Amino acid sequence: MADNHDQHPEGRQPRTALLIVDVQPTFCEAGALAVEGGNDVAAKVAELLAGEHGYDLVVTTQDWHIDPGDHFSDEPDFVDTWPPHGEAGTAEAELHPALDPVTDRIDARVRKGMHAAAYSGFEGVDGDGRTLNDLLSSAGVHEVDVVGIAFDHCVRATAMDAAANGYATTVIEGLSASVAPETEAAARTQLADAGIEVITSR
């Protein structure tokens, strides 16, 4: 991966990043597409950010659907089609309220899925149109930890793309939640085959 010498605001070169995937009310208990344990993940991620976490760059991703076509369905199969969720401009699509006290610890925010299905954070852009890969590479990041919701869908997809883009990639399962045991097992196999380590905690 090409090294980029853009400087971090504190004058040091970032090397490690935390990617917080879709920690939004829409994917938590009482949300439109609720994942059991979502609120707990949000609280734990907030606790991590509040401490001396050691990451040089922290990036969040959000589902931010405007008109995602057949990604939404009134009769979803929960594989390729889903009930409406993460609708742009709604409270459910914002970052989880548990993260409100630590938003100053977030360096960048990427939104994805505006007009098509998007599972990986690498399919999104920030407010200036920069992709997640743009943000990481310009910051000189070489290693990423991926956390969030859901382990077996968007966390998996983001981690897979991170590895494909040349980043040493780890998923922290203790800061993630899965939709179902079957898809979680399949995700673990895919991650292992891609050389991505899955750990309980740092």
Note the pLDDT of residue 81.
85
How many domains are there within the chain?
1
Any domain includes 10: no
Active site (catalytic) residues:
22, 112, 154
Residue 113 located in a structural domain: yes
Task: Encode pLDDT of 10-61 as tens digits.
Answer: 445 559 999 999 999 999 999 999 999 999 999 999 999 999 999 999 999 9
198 CB burial (10 A radius; 0-12, 13-18, 19+): middle
Residue 126's domain spans which residues?
16-199
CB 146 within 8 A of CB 159: yes
- CATH code for the domain of 160: 3.40.50.850
* 77 within some domain: yes
The answer to whether 15 touches 142, Cβ cutoff 8 Å, is yes
> Which tokens hold the place of 75?
């009769």
Q: Does residue 58 form part of some domain?
A: yes
pLDDT more than 70, % of the chain: 93
CA angle 173, 178, 179 (to 5 degrees): 175
E strand map for 48-142: 57-63, 108-112
The answer to whether residue 35 sits within a structural domain is: yes
Structural domain contains residue 184:
yes
Alpha-carbon dihedral of residues 70, 83, 67, 63, nearest 10 degrees? -120
Q: Is residue 98 part of a domain?
A: yes
Q: CA-CA-CA-CA torsion for 168, 155, 64, 167, nearest 10 degrees?
A: 10
* pLDDT tens-place string over residues 157-199: 999 999 999 999 999 999 999 999 999 999 999 999 999 999 9
Flag whether 5 is in a domain: no
